[in-house]
Structure 1
Amino acid sequence: MKRIGRAAKGAITVGVFALALTGCSGGSPGASSDGPSGIVQIYTTSTPTQNERFEKAFEKAHSEIDLKITRGGPDLIPRVEAEMDSGSAGADIFISTSQQWFVDNEQNLLKGDYASDWPLWGIEGLVPAIGVNPHSYIVWNTNKFPNGFHSWDSLLAPETKGTLGFRDGIDVSMSGYLQYLEDQNGPDFLEKVAAQNPVFYPTTVPLTQAVGSGEVGVAMMSSPAPILELQAAGAPVDYWLAEDGFAVSFYSAILNNSKNQAAAKVVMDFYMSPEGQKAFNGGGYGGSPLDGIEGAIDVSKMQILDPKKITPEVIAKWGERFNTIFR
């Protein structure tokens, strides 16, 4: 795992793409005499609220470019790959937490003049991390537990037995999170959790929703969006986020198959600007690689998952351990 190397406020050089492209000729795809324009398609696993906030801020700053954002999950990867194989129009920009996909498809990504001092990368100089998504939350139903929880050990109280929720399924991020929990709490922590007879859910979204409905009283993993959405709807939920917690990154790249590369570069430039970071990660929806972003979660002390260290062998090991402990 790695920690973000914090950049000094204002130290990131932005506008590289936008400045370089203002002189594009009218004959170039996605360009006019005034610069890049047209439609940019973004396929992303980021949350609807983040996408809406970003689209609104971007189109206010660049009314000549129209964003079309498609949100999905694992289904987006085969869709992007099919478009690349056929050469058909589709995604110009792909955003995902799967760093390995970008590594495996490096030859299909557009190289650009990104700012060299950007603090967090999936592939240095090619795939920037544009947001950080913490997972190390404890979320509780305030009707069931009005005093809440403020440490991992507090989850082992007798009152949580049978009403503690956790995520099921072993993948790259879950393997990293289980390792984080053991590193923080000792090698027998997960066995102690198992003794609480936890209830399992396939992802953090239904897990967090189960807390809001009272189906379970407390969850030991979540992410910002489902918590904020439940609170906005008036659900009785509150949370604790470990300051030295665990998080994954949203990685982003322009695809070689993009039919509007000039405008896509302007979009990427905006994602990496302070204004774009505020739109994407502000409001408590994520952490930013940049310092001083208003409303972003402070992730400066968190362990950011390095997927390169979570090999298939590590995933297999955690799959076996998870089944031994919890089944």
Structure 2
Amino acid sequence: MNPSHTRRRTRRAFLSAMTAAALAAALTACGGSGSDDRITSDSIGSTGPAGDDAWQQVVEAAKAEGEVTIYSSNAADALAELGRRFEADYGIRLNVVRDVDANLHQKIGAEAETGNRVADVVTQASAPWAVNLGASGEFAEPVGPAFTDSAGEYDVDTLKDDTGYFVSNASVLTFGWNTQRHPDGVESYSDLLDPTLADGRIGIVLPTSTAHVDFYDNYLEQVGGEGFLEKLAQQRPRIYPSALPLAQALASGEIAVGAFVQDQKSEQQSGAPVDSAFGDLVWGAPMYTAILADAVHPNAAQVLANYMITPAGQEAVSFRNAAVLPGIGSAVTTVDKVAPQNTDAMTPEALEELKARFGRLFNQ
């Protein structure tokens, strides 16, 4: 098969035209605990293929630069762990600017206009933004051996675009339950229609972004069947403004089941009576990473981008989320299990229609 054809097909499958600011806030608001036992020191030093002499020269130049800056909407704890590992393996300091995608886009645009570049690498969830900047030549081609060496496990043909951006992980959300209020647990979204969960025992989120259009109108229809939202409304669930208060309500026992939460193992290890699970098809957003063509630390940016798709980097950035490599212990799934999104339907107009429909169904 022609690799370029594969890349074009995969881009269509992965393009997630979502309101990135709201999505990033929802995905990262429930950041995990650094004490989670899935984060270990075993993979530090697992930096993938060694590369050739030319790559070693890049590494030495990166060490001479001494630092690199990433702008990212990934969870703060994952970024902190990435920085700790990266410095341990290479002696290069990672400066992190964490914000929601819309703000990062503005900062990167302002830096380009003023010529005062700060960012070296960017990770965010808006595929259209990555497509537009990539097409404009604003990204540098990653040249690390994790991308170029056949010994690497990263699927370049599927996950990297010709213009330079690549998928480094995917943020995912799922269903969870309070083990005291609902000890039988939940195996699928269809279980939310159990009559014993009616009358305020389920928590869902208010639609506030085009990401919710995909969740309610596309994903839940795929995994729960046609008319799922109408059936869910008959359960009379509680409505929460975002994922964070919903997760807090789940841990406190205010609700028995939450329909839009992160993997709950960290909270469980901290003593909260909660659990979660994932179906065969997971809802979430691929995170698109790129090296800026005018990066201040171009060599360190290359080394960081390469590191992010090695086992050591993946254990950090994929914590509680979907990994791009198999066998990552901190991840809950892999990116190929993330459901393709109906990007054509994810429009501001569709969001307003969903809000109106949601209001009618749930008396909001």
Q: After TM superposition, is the score higher than 0.5?
A: yes
Matched, 1:130 2:168: yes
Among candidates 72, 90, 97, match of residue 70 of structure 1 = 97
Partner of 1:27: none
CA shift digits 1:127-173 (9 cap, x unpaired): 111112222x2211222222222232321223322131112224343
Partner of 1:171: 209
- Match for 1:89: what amino acid? R
* Contact kept in structure 2, 1:21 and 1:262, CA below 8 Å: no
Shift of 1:41: 1.0
Among candidates 226, 234, 239, match of residue 200 of structure 1 = 239
Q: 1:45 to 1:253 in 2, by over 3 A?
A: same
Structure having the higher helix fraction is 2
- Match for 1:234: what amino acid? G
- Match for 2:70: what amino acid? I
Calculate the aligned-residue CA RMSD, in Å.
Answer: 3.0
Partner of 1:9: none
- Match for 1:201: what amino acid? Y
Distance 1:159 1:37 in 2: 60
Matched, 1:40 2:68: yes
Shift of 1:233: 2.5
Among candidates 155, 162, 173, match of residue 192 of structure 2 = 155
Partner of 1:262: 299
Shift of 1:276: 1.6
* Contact kept in structure 1, 2:219 and 2:339, CA below 8 Å: no
What secondary structure sits across from 1:150 in the alignment?
Answer: coil
- Match for 2:325: what amino acid? L
Among candidates 79, 84, 87, match of residue 59 of structure 1 = 87
Among candidates 277, 302, 307, match of residue 337 of structure 2 = 302
Bigger drift between 292-301 and 237-246 goes to 292-301
Distance 2:361 2:338 in 1: 24
Bigger drift between 92-101 and 241-250 goes to 241-250
Among candidates 159, 162, 173, match of residue 121 of structure 1 = 159
Matched, 1:181 2:231: no
What secondary structure sits across from 2:323 in the alignment?
Answer: coil
- Match for 1:52: what amino acid? A
* Contact kept in structure 2, 1:22 and 1:34, CA below 8 Å: no
Q: 1:191 to 1:241 in 2, by over 3 A?
A: same
* Contact kept in structure 1, 2:213 and 2:346, CA below 8 Å: no
- Aligned ranges 1:243-254 → 2 under 5 Å: 243-254=280-291
Matched, 1:287 2:313: no
Percent identical among aligned pairs is 25
Q: 1:14 to 1:247 in 2, by over 3 A?
A: farther
- Match for 1:198: what amino acid? P
Q: 1:203 to 1:90 in 2, by over 3 A?
A: farther
Q: 1:253 to 1:15 in 2, by over 3 A?
A: farther
Distance 2:158 2:215 in 1: 19
Q: Any stretches of 5+ residues in structure 1 without a counterpart?
A: 4-12, 25-30
- Match for 1:189: what amino acid? F
* Contact kept in structure 2, 1:14 and 1:272, CA below 8 Å: no
Distance 1:168 1:288 in 2: 28
Partner of 1:111: 141
* Contact kept in structure 1, 2:207 and 2:354, CA below 8 Å: no
* Contact kept in structure 1, 2:182 and 2:256, CA below 8 Å: yes
Partner of 2:44: none
Distance 2:267 2:183 in 1: 17
Bigger drift between 53-62 and 72-81 goes to 72-81
CA shift digits 1:24-55 (9 cap, x unpaired): 6xxxxxx9668553221111111122112211
Bigger drift between 304-313 and 94-103 goes to 304-313
Q: 1:308 to 1:20 in 2, by over 3 A?
A: farther
* Contact kept in structure 1, 2:265 and 2:276, CA below 8 Å: no
* Contact kept in structure 2, 1:209 and 1:230, CA below 8 Å: no
CA shift digits 1:47-99 (9 cap, x unpaired): 12211221122111101x11011222243332232222222132211111121
* Contact kept in structure 2, 1:119 and 1:289, CA below 8 Å: no
Shift of 1:307: 6.9
Q: Give the total of aligned pairs.
A: 306
Q: 1:77 to 1:125 in 2, by over 3 A?
A: closer
- Match for 1:69: what amino acid? V
Q: 1:319 to 1:99 in 2, by over 3 A?
A: farther
Distance 2:160 2:237 in 1: 34
What secondary structure sits across from 1:146 in the alignment?
Answer: coil
Shift of 1:250: 1.3
